[in-house]
Amino acid sequence: MQDRKEIFIIDDHPVFRKGLAQLIDEERELKVTGEAESVADAIDLLHHSQPDLMIVDITLKDRSGMDLIEFLREHHPGLPILVISMHDESLYAERVLRAGALGYITKQELTSDVVSAVRQVLMGKRYLSAKMIDALLGKMTLGAGGDGDDCMDVLSNRELEVFQLIGQGIKRSEIANMLSLSVKTIGTYHESIKKKLHLKSATELMKYAVTWVQTHQ
């Protein structure tokens, strides 16, 4: 029997990790050999062994999964990454590909498509839903503009993260604590986001962010 491909799951929900591991372990050629709920724990796992594939969520205990993807691209450039997340594919799929991941699948698609996604990424191929592939091809053909989420494309990954936290009603000092940044740095992000989204005040930013988050939940 061929060696089973080893997979790490990095997700902050233990029940989800367990269910996903069971689904993957049912496949004869696949095996989950490591789990973590934070970026720090994931990096620690890699000190002991390196898997054939990392499955990473966007939202983790300590930092964004985007930070982990960028770390892996720099320090483990040959390691395939598949992102499985609850976040809107139209918002994050292109970002994770640019950051270094090979695929993106939403948790809603999980049962039917995850094994196909895992196998495709293990072969070094990209995986996106048919709907997302069509959207990206349309964007390449017609150019960005006028499509609901395109306004978010102007924000960096960190700015988008701060914007979403603002929309969840989280205070500036709490955002700073969550992201291990200074309050001053968060203030700088506020100003940059306002400028890029053409918003005039903190109140306008708050209203826009809250409305956006409610619409995309």
pTM of the model: 0.79
The Cα–Cα gap between 59 and 165 comes to 12
pLDDT for the residue numbered 145:
44
* Phi/psi of residue 40, nearest 5 degrees: -60, -45
List, in sequence order, the alpha helices (H) in 110-156.
110-122, 130-142
Q: Give the Cα separation of 143 and 140 in Å (integer).
A: 5
Query: How do residues 104-116 score in pLDDT, each as one tens digit?
Result: 998 877 666 899 9
Q: Answer whether residue 127 shows pLDDT above 80.
A: yes
Weakest-pLDDT range from 18-22, 55-59, 130-134 = 130-134
Rg, the chain, Cα only? 18
All structural domains of the chain: 5-137 (3.40.50.2300), 155-216 (1.10.10.10)
- DSSP string covering 20-77: HHHHHHTSTTEEEEEEESSHHHHHHHHTT---SEEEE-SB-SSSBHHHHHHHHHHH-T
Buried b (16+ CB within 10 A) or exposed e, 162-191: bbbbbbeeeebeebbebbeeeeeebeebbe
- 68-93 pLDDT, tens per residue? 999 999 999 999 999 998 887 778 88
In tens, the pLDDT along 173-206 reads 999 988 888 999 999 999 999 999 999 999 999 9
Half-sphere exposure of 12 (CA within 13 A, CB side): 14
Burial 101-122 (b: 16+ CB within 10 A, else e): bbbbbbbeebeebbeebbbbbb
Amino acid in position 177 = N
Single out the residue of 10, 143, 31, 149 nearest to residue 83, CA to CA: 10
- Pairing relation of β-strands 103-106 and 53-56? unpaired
- Alpha carbon distances (Å) from 102 to 79, 122, 195: 10, 9, 32
Q: Report helix, strand or coil for 159.
A: helix
Average pLDDT over residues 90-104: 90
For residues 187 and 209, what is the distance between their CA atoms, to the nearest angstrom? 15
Angle of the 183-196 helix axis to the 157-167 helix axis, nearest 10:
100
